[in-house]
């Protein structure tokens, strides 16, 4: 049996809009109505399993009803813009679901629905009408049910004849008479003044229709009522007419065209992703169904032996590695797409082919990839040099908008309007189930990927040029990815025996501490469990609760420090935590990822992740090796040069972020301070506390340092108060005095927010961008966060630009000068090298020179550098 669902699009969108808080996605697009609409739609599809569907919308402002009554729907509130802007998204959603939508000039959604429900009724189809508008109840029949939203959006009630009778005591076709009598303020239908629902129903039960009421008006009880009815006779009849749904709308659809069933799940999921409907993505994105859907045909050849014709330039290239960690990983296969054809090349076929290997290392043969570093490194491990990388889609996508959490090819393809392809996860599975599929599936997927890269290259470069980001892309990030690839492949040598020895020492001390703590507590428990620890401290020992987390008591270090006086156990716990951290994260963690044969660690630098342009490091993270406390700093003793007699050399920018601030804000006082190479925190203390250099106490310097940090982060009085342990008022006073001392900084902070609001984004020195749609959010927290980000990102991002430029330049210099020294690591404002002894002096000169001259600012850049036998000693 056929089942048709007819949805009143406008009505449901309105309901959803007002039922849900104003959500928006990271682009600042409001999504609450779309979200409500979607959940309702999914619920209907799931529960009703319709064979046919249609969503009707109101078309223009005027309809045939306005001819009858000019004031129809007059005095209505204008649709809020926050809602209007969501209608195109709702249409997009329906298209993705392959659900027919329909609107027609001169008619309302009601009329379309009425017409089609009558039509379907004739064919004896089951019909469900979904709306928030009671008017639709007039359509109810043996075949037609009307589903009305009750409260919220998915809470609904289904009306059949019985329920209408129960609620109102009338038949569905009497709804219009009811409306005629009582009117409808929301549509500005007048009805009969003084007649409400109660009176209307009473009259209808007695007389049946408005016409009968008016004909037999003498039998109506109540003098006043009778007068009103006579007086408003025409108005009542007109009101009935207005409320009557017109069921003969001219339409050029057949019922068959409303068929619902097949739709592009990937399209739906990518739309959900764009809208940030995370919970809905999870419902869909199981990957199984997406894998079954049909894609446009694409022809390609499987290469059995590499020949000239398979290798052209330029070529889009896919080097597929399923492991997230590409170091020493297996290559699943290759794909090449160029003007001569599309090819899948099995791994062995490619690697044993001299032709292929020569082509790969020929820099005149241009290659276009997604995540070039990944390709370069994985081939590097197979002793195949990949050169001539001319375009990296990953970097392009990242630079155009770093906010996208995924730069997976299928996501980029969707965003950029290329041919849609399956997500890797859908083809390969995820987690433990991830595996190389059968060759046919793999081959096709890889060729499709290469095809999309080929298709998108020009467009992406155009977009970069339009944003004035092409230089950043081509001259900075692309060369940098090669440098990073080399750093990763080279790896850092560790003294594994020393690490293990430190681990044994820590383990025995931890056991001792654990014993003490359990004794003090009088009970044995897991100290690493915040839950158990909280119970022991705050329930068993009755210590005062300072702070709570959403799941229980907070036991963080700042809380425990406040309790240190109250109980001896606390300092043991703090010590246990400190050592436990070192042992699990830094000893055991590093031992786990150190290569058995070479004793080297190969991190991966993510070049397309942070919102500011910094790098990040994973597997392991070598950008957070301890340094502040001596105990942890010792870990650095285990990081050693990879060759006998070599040295570790560390060079870090001094106060790069505050220097960048001085430059951007063009603040004379700060610029002078840096030109004179003053201690910047002391200088700040002098200016904020109005004292001379000799009178700056260590306390004052400490406060000034915290204020400087705050300025860089986008200051808030609360944040500063937390960091200094003072009241918010005192913190606010500090900030005020700082901004009064550095008026150009104050001006910068205001200007950058204003600019960001106008442009929608902030930029760094080298034109890196970050979009900040939340600057216009009505949510205070969101907006404040965006404002701090607007202040911080140009600073942090420019600092990132500078060190990246220094790295590329440094790599060039090493090559030109034929030096053996190698760049190993970057830690945001410092570069770590390993250096043969005979090059130490040279490097101590070259490195600061390159770093300090990476860019020219209104202030000098300063680099501190030192060398030692281990990373620890390079201080």
Residues 626 to 685: which contact DNA by CB under 7 A? Answer: 626-629, 632-633, 652
Contacts of 596 (CB under 8 A, 6+ apart): none
Q: Which residue, 331 or 533, has its beta carbon nearer to DNA?
A: 533
Q: Does 612 bind DNA (CB under 7 A)?
A: yes
Answer for which of 368, 713, 748, 833 binds DNA (CB under 7 A) is 713
Only one of the segments 21-29, 231-239, 313-321, 779-787 lies at the binding site for DNA (rule: CB under 7 A); that segment is 779-787
- Residue 707 CA to residue 575 CA, distance in Å, equals 29
Q: Are 446 and 422 a contacting pair, CB within 8 Å?
A: no
Q: Which residue, 578 or 777, has its beta carbon nearer to DNA?
A: 578
Q: Does 435 bind DNA (CB under 7 A)?
A: no
The SS3 call for residue 548 is: strand
Q: Does 616 bind DNA (CB under 7 A)?
A: yes
> Cis before residue 723, ω within 30 degrees of 0?
no
Answer for which of 305, 519, 718, 845 binds DNA (CB under 7 A) is 718
Q: How far is the CB of 73 from DNA (least distance, A)?
A: 43
Closest CA to 606 of 266, 325, 273: 325
Q: Does 550 bind DNA (CB under 7 A)?
A: yes
Q: Which residue, 247 or 555, has its beta carbon nearer to DNA?
A: 555
Q: What is the dihedral of CA 667, 671, 674, 676, to 10 degrees?
A: -130
Q: How far is the CB of 610 from DNA (least distance, A)?
A: 4
Quick one: tokens of 488? 């990763």
Q: Which residue, 82 or 588, has its beta carbon nearer to DNA?
A: 588
Contacts of 849 (CB under 8 A, 6+ apart): none
Q: How far is the CB of 753 from DNA (least distance, A)?
A: 13
Q: How far is the CB of 723 from DNA (least distance, A)?
A: 3
The number of angstroms, rounded, from the C-alpha of 404 to the middle of its chain's C-alpha atoms is 5
Query: What residue has token string 């987690």?
Result: 431
Q: Does 719 bind DNA (CB under 7 A)?
A: yes
> Cis before residue 358, ω within 30 degrees of 0?
no
Handedness of CA 407, 409, 413, 414 (dihedral sign): negative
Q: How far is the CB of 498 from DNA (least distance, A)?
A: 18
Q: Which residue, 106 or 623, has its beta carbon nearer to DNA?
A: 623
Site residues (CB under 7 A) for DNA, limited to 171-230: none
Strands 144-149 and 156-159, by their bridges, are: antiparallel
Q: Are 700 and 777 a contacting pair, CB within 8 Å?
A: no
Q: How far is the CB of 609 from DNA (least distance, A)?
A: 5
Q: Does 503 bind DNA (CB under 7 A)?
A: no
Q: Does 715 bind DNA (CB under 7 A)?
A: yes
Q: Which residue, 467 or 585, has its beta carbon nearer to DNA?
A: 585
First-residue to last-residue Cα distance in the chain? 80
Cα 2–260–113 angle (5° rounding)? 70
Q: How far is the CB of 808 from DNA (least distance, A)?
A: 19
Site residues (CB under 7 A) for DNA, limited to 788-807: 788-789, 792-793, 796
- Residue 318 CA to residue 245 CA, distance in Å, equals 59
Answer for which of 557, 691, 740, 817 binds DNA (CB under 7 A) is 557
Answer for which of 562, 595, 828, 862 binds DNA (CB under 7 A) is 828
The strand pairing partners of 158, in sequence order, are: 147
Q: Does 732 bind DNA (CB under 7 A)?
A: no
- Residue 29 CA to residue 611 CA, distance in Å, equals 19
Answer for which of 287, 714, 794, 848 binds DNA (CB under 7 A) is 714
Q: How far is the CB of 80 from DNA (least distance, A)?
A: 27
Q: Does 777 bind DNA (CB under 7 A)?
A: no
Answer for which of 228, 614, 659, 804 binds DNA (CB under 7 A) is 614
What would the 3-class secondary structure string for 389-456 be? EEEEHHHHHHHHCCCCCCCCHHHHHHHHCCCCCCCHHHHHCCHHHCCCCCHHHHHHHHHHHHHHHHHH
Answer for which of 62, 68, 526, 759 binds DNA (CB under 7 A) is 526
- Number of residues lying near DNA (CB under 7 A): 79
Q: Does 430 bind DNA (CB under 7 A)?
A: yes
Query: Edge-to-edge strand order for the sheet containing 126-131?
Result: 100-103, 52-57, 3-8, 126-131, 144-149, 156-159
- Residue 186 CA to residue 180 CA, distance in Å, equals 14
Q: Which residue, 501 or 557, has its beta carbon nearer to DNA?
A: 557
Only one of the segments 456-464, 640-648, 822-830, 838-846 lies at the binding site for DNA (rule: CB under 7 A); that segment is 822-830
- Residue 100 CA to residue 259 CA, distance in Å, equals 8
Quick one: tokens of 53? 């569907």
Answer for which of 120, 670, 680, 720 binds DNA (CB under 7 A) is 720
Q: Which residue, 434 or 751, has its beta carbon nearer to DNA?
A: 434
Site residues (CB under 7 A) for DNA, limited to 830-859: 830
Q: Is 767 left (phi over 0), alpha (psi -120 to 50) or beta?
A: left
- Report the b/e string of 246-265 with b at 16+ CB within 10 A: bbebeeeeebeebbbeeebb
Only one of the segments 9-17, 45-53, 479-487, 777-785 lies at the binding site for DNA (rule: CB under 7 A); that segment is 777-785
The strand pairing partners of 154, in sequence order, are: none
Q: Does 606 bind DNA (CB under 7 A)?
A: yes
Alpha helices, DSSP H, located in 698-776 = 698-713, 717-724, 728-741, 743-759
Contacts of 834 (CB under 8 A, 6+ apart): 493, 641, 642, 643, 646, 647, 648, 649, 821, 822, 824
Q: How far is the CB of 548 from DNA (least distance, A)?
A: 8
Handedness of CA 133, 139, 140, 144 (dihedral sign): negative
Answer for which of 173, 599, 610, 654 binds DNA (CB under 7 A) is 610
Only one of the segments 155-163, 230-238, 260-268, 584-592 lies at the binding site for DNA (rule: CB under 7 A); that segment is 584-592
Answer for which of 283, 439, 529, 776 binds DNA (CB under 7 A) is 529
Q: Does 149 bind DNA (CB under 7 A)?
A: no
Cα 32–35–36 angle (5° rounding)? 90
Answer for which of 350, 706, 807, 863 binds DNA (CB under 7 A) is 706
Site residues (CB under 7 A) for DNA, limited to 439-458: none
Only one of the segments 262-270, 388-396, 490-498, 713-721 lies at the binding site for DNA (rule: CB under 7 A); that segment is 713-721
Q: Does 609 bind DNA (CB under 7 A)?
A: yes
Q: Which residue, 347 or 611, has its beta carbon nearer to DNA?
A: 611
Q: Does 589 bind DNA (CB under 7 A)?
A: yes
Answer for which of 722, 730, 844, 855 binds DNA (CB under 7 A) is 722
- Residue 792 CA to residue 810 CA, distance in Å, equals 27
Q: Does 68 bind DNA (CB under 7 A)?
A: no
Only one of the segments 175-183, 297-305, 521-529, 851-859 lies at the binding site for DNA (rule: CB under 7 A); that segment is 521-529
Q: Are 477 and 372 a contacting pair, CB within 8 Å?
A: no
């Amino acid at each position: 049996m056929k089942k048709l669902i007819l949805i009143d699009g406008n009505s449901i969108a309105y309901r959803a809009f007002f039922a849900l808080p104003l959500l928006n996605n990271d682009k600042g697009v409001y999504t609450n109505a779309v979200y409500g609409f979607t959940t309702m739609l999914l619920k209907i599809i799931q529960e009703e399993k319709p064979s046919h569907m249609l969503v009707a919308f109101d078309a223009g402002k005027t309809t045939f009803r306005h001819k009858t009554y000019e004031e129809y729907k007059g005095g209505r509130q204008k649709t809020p813009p926050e809602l209007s802007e969501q209608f195109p998204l709702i249409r997009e959603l329906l298209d993705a679901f392959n659900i027919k939508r329909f609107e027609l000039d001169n008619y309302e959604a009601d009329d379309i629905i009425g017409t089609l429900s009558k039509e379907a009724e004739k064919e004896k189809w089951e019909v469900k009408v979904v709306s928030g508008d009671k008017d639709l109840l007039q359509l109810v029949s043996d075949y037609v049910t009307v589903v009305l939203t009750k409260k919220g959006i998915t809470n609904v009630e289904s009306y059949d004849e019985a329920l209408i009778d129960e609620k109102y005591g009338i038949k569905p076709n009497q709804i219009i008479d009811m409306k005629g009598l009582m009117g409808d303020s929301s549509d500005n239908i007048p009805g009969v003044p003084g007649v409400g629902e109660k009176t209307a129903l009473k009259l209808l039960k007695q007389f049946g229709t408005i016409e009968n009421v008016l004909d037999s008006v003498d039998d109506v009880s109540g003098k006043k009522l009778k007068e009103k009815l006579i007086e408003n006779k025409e108005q009542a009849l007109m009101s009935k007419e207005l409320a009557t749904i017109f069921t003969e709308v001219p339409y050029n659809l057949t019922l068959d065209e409303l068929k619902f069933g097949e739709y592009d799940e990937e399209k739906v999921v990518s739309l959900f992703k764009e809208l940030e409907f995370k919970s809905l993505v999870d419902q869909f994105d199981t990957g199984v169904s997406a894998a079954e859907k049909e894609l446009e045909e694409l022809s390609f050849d499987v290469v059995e032996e590499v020949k000239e014709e398979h290798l052209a330039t330029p070529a889009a290239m896919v080097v597929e590695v399923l492991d997230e960690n590409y170091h020493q990983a297996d290559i699943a296969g290759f794909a090449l797409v160029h003007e001569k054809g599309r090819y899948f090349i099995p791994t062995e076929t490619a690697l044993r082919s001299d032709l292929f290997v020569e082509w790969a290392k020929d820099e005149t043969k241009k290659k276009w990839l997604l995540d070039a570093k990944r390709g370069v490194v994985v081939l590097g491990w197979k002793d195949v040099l990949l050169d001539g990388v001319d375009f990296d889609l990953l970097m392009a996508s990242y630079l155009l908008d770093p906010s996208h959490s995924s730069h997976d090819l299928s996501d980029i393809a969707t965003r950029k309007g290329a041919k849609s392809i399956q997500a890797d996860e859908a083809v390969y599975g995820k987690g433990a189930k991830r595996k190389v599929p059968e060759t046919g599936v793999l081959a096709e997927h890889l060729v499709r990927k290469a095809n999309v890269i080929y298709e998108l290259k020009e467009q992406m470069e155009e977009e970069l040029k339009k944003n004035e980001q092409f230089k950043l892309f081509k001259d900075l990030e692309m060369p940098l990815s090669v440098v990073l690839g080399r750093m990763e492949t080279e790896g850092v040598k560790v003294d594994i025996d020393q690490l293990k020895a430190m681990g044994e020492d820590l383990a025995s001390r931890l056991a001792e501490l654990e014993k003490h703590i359990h004794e003090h507590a009088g009970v044995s428990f897991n100290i690493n469990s915040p839950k158990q620890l909280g119970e022991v401290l705050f329930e068993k020992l009755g210590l005062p609760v300072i702070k709570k987390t959403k799941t229980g008591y907070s036991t963080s270090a700042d809380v425990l420090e406040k309790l240190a006086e109250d109980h001896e156990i606390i300092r043991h716990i703090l010590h246990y935590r400190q050592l436990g951290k070192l042992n699990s994260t830094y000893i055991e963690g590093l031992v786990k990822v150190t290569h058995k044969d070479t004793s080297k660690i190969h991190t991966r630098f993510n070049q397309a992740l942070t919102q500011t342009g910094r790098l990040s490091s994973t597997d392991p993270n070598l950008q957070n090796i301890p340094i502040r406390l001596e105990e942890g700093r010792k870990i650095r003793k285990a990081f050693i040069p990879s060759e006998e007699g070599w040295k570790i050399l560390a060079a870090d920018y001094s106060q790069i972020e505050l220097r960048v601030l001085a430059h951007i804000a063009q603040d004379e006082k700060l610029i002078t301070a840096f030109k004179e190479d003053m201690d910047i925190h002391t200088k700040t203390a002098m200016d904020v506390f109005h004292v001379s250099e000799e009178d700056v106490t260590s306390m004052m310097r400490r406060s000034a340092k915290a204020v400087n940090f705050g300025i860089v982060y986008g200051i808030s009085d609360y944040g500063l108060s937390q960091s200094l342990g003072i009241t918010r008022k005192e913190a606010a006073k500090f900030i005020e005095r700082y901004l009064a001392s550095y008026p150009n900084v104050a001006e910068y902070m205001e200007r950058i927010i204003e600019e960001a609001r106008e442009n929608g984004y902030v930029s760094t020195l080298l034109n890196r961008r970050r979009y900040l749609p939340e600057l216009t959010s009505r949510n205070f927290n969101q907006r404040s966060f965006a404002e701090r980000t607007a202040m911080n990102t140009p600073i942090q991002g420019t600092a990132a630009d500078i060190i990246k430029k220094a790295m590329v330049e440094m790599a060039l210099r090493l090559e030109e000068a034929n030096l053996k020294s190698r760049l190993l690591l970057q830690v945001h404002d410092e570069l770590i090298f390993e250096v043969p002894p005979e090059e130490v002096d040279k490097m101590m000169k070259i490195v600061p020179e390159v770093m300090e001259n990476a860019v020219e600012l209104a202030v000098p850049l300063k680099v501190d550098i030192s060398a030692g036998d281990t990373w620890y000693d390079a201080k």
